[in-house]
Amino acid sequence: MRHTIAFSSLKGGVGKTTTALNSAYAFARRGLRTLLVDTDPQGAIGLSLDGVSERPGLAASVHDGELPEIVKTRLAELHLLPMGTVEAMDVDRFAQEARASEVVKRLVERAQDDYDLVLFDTPAGLGGMTRLVLETVDHVIAVVQCEPLALRSLPRLLELLAQLRETGSSCSLLGVASNMGSFRDPVILACLEELWQLYRDHVFETSIPRDSVFLEASRAGVPLGLLSRRPPPAAAVFDGLVAEIEGRLGVEQGGSDDGPIRLVD
Ligand SMILES: Nc1ncnc2c1ncn2[C@@H]1O[C@H](COP(=O)(O)OP(=O)(O)OP(=O)(O)O)[C@@H](O)[C@H]1O
Ligand SMILES: [Mg+2]
């Protein structure tokens, strides 16, 4: 396995799960063996995908100490590790138990040979599970909704990363993914411009648009790319995003040099 990436934000509801899920699908479509791990005790990936929420996952393995059962998908290159069920009363305790069981570290070690990428969807906030994941992975993608409050909370995540690095963690910011952007709404556009000004080198050029197809996809319980035989244009946005991510990771496609490819030999 070459890369471990967390999708994180201090603020909730900004699109971490949506971005992690659709990026995982796009990576797998590009042939990279990808494992998407849900570390949110609310089981966000299970809530987003039809047929996943009933499966045991990370929660069960925290309790019984065994490494969890991976869920295969329609794409051979995409595997999932859902959360399973964490009782509402146990949510606070769960992160402590997960830390004590070293489940995330053991999972990354086990994934070493089988995957090119392990992506972690983390819960909102910087405590508990998020911190545990950030201590273990190499990269974090900060997901920011194009709205003032989400923008203002980004420095806190960067501070945490700096502090973790001082204590020996290797996790660094791979980039900032902007979500729910719109060039038509002046307030949202102003936020995007501020984001570009403040974090120019980090912000991915691909901005995920606000689009009601995301709600349709979550209602259907599928990634955007599987919403219909002809996927909506927003699905293609993730091809652009993951191409940028691959560029920053230095992932080579098919072992060949980058550059034009002749159509006719
Ligand atoms: N670009 C978008 N356009 C429209 N709706 C979106 C977009 N991105 C996400 N959503 C919707 O916004 C809601 C929150 O998204 P999501 O669950 O991905 O956020 P989150 O950051 O993972 O939330 P949490 O902090 O609770 O884990 C969902 O209903 C999702 O379908
Ligand atoms: Mg989420």
State mean pLDDT over 172-199. Answer: 94
* 56, pLDDT greater than 60: yes
pLDDT level of residue 183 (50, 70, 90 thresholds): confident
Q: Could you give the percent of the chain with pLDDT greater than 70? A: 97
Whole-number pLDDT of residue 118: 97
Residue to mutate (ligand 1; options 9, 10, 14, 18; most atoms within 8 A of CB): 18
Whole-number pLDDT of residue 65: 82
Residues 6+ positions from 149 with CB-CB distance below 8 Å: 11
In a domain, residue 257? The reply is no
In tens, the pLDDT along 139-149 reads 999 999 999 88
> How far from 172 is each of 18, 30, 109, 249, CA to CA, in Å?
21, 24, 19, 12
Please give the Cα distance from 120 to 111 (Å, whole number).
13
Q: How many angstroms separate the alpha carbon of residue 161 from the centre of ligand 2?
A: 20
Q: Count Cβ neighbours within 10 Å for each residue of 100-113 and write b for 16 or more, e otherwise.
A: ebebbeebbebbee
pTM given for the model? 0.95
Strands 139-145 and 172-181: parallel
Provide the mean pLDDT of the chain: 93
Sheet holding 139-145, edge to edge: 71-72, 78-81, 34-38, 117-121, 3-8, 139-145, 172-181, 208-209
Higher pLDDT, 251 or 186: 186
Instruction: Supply the range of the domain harboring residue 62.
Output: 3-249
pLDDT level of residue 15 (50, 70, 90 thresholds): very high
Whole-number pLDDT of residue 256: 53
Whole-number pLDDT of residue 89: 85
In a domain, residue 110? The reply is yes
Higher pLDDT, 7 or 51: 7
Q: How many angstroms separate the alpha carbon of residue 20 from the centre of ligand 2?
A: 9
State mean pLDDT over 173-184. Answer: 94
* 101, pLDDT greater than 70: yes
State mean pLDDT over 34-51. Answer: 94
In a domain, residue 256? The reply is no
Strands 117-121 and 208-209: unpaired
What residues have a C-beta under 5 A from ligand 2, the ion?
16-17, 44
Residues with CB under 6 A from ligand 1: 12-18, 40, 44, 123-124, 179-180, 208, 210-211, 214-215, 218
Strands 208-209 and 3-8: unpaired
Please give the Cα distance from 158 to 142 (Å, whole number).
9
Whole-number pLDDT of residue 257: 60
Nearest CA to ligand 1 atom 16: 15
Please give the Cα distance from 17 to 123 (Å, whole number).
9
In a domain, residue 260? The reply is no
pLDDT level of residue 218 (50, 70, 90 thresholds): very high
Please give the Cα distance from 111 to 80 (Å, whole number).
12
In a domain, residue 115? The reply is yes
Please give the Cα distance from 121 to 240 (Å, whole number).
20
Higher pLDDT, 138 or 87: 138
Handedness of CA 19, 24, 25, 30 (dihedral sign): positive
In a domain, residue 254? The reply is no
* Total number of domains constituting the chain: 1
- Quick one: which of 4, 27, 6 has its CA closest to 16? 6
Domain at 144, CATH number: 3.40.50.300
C-alpha 89, offset from chain centre: 26
* 97, pLDDT greater than 60: yes
* 138, pLDDT greater than 70: yes
Whole-number pLDDT of residue 117: 97
In a domain, residue 262? The reply is no
- Quick one: which of 89, 152, 120 has its CA closest to 5? 120
In a domain, residue 264? The reply is no
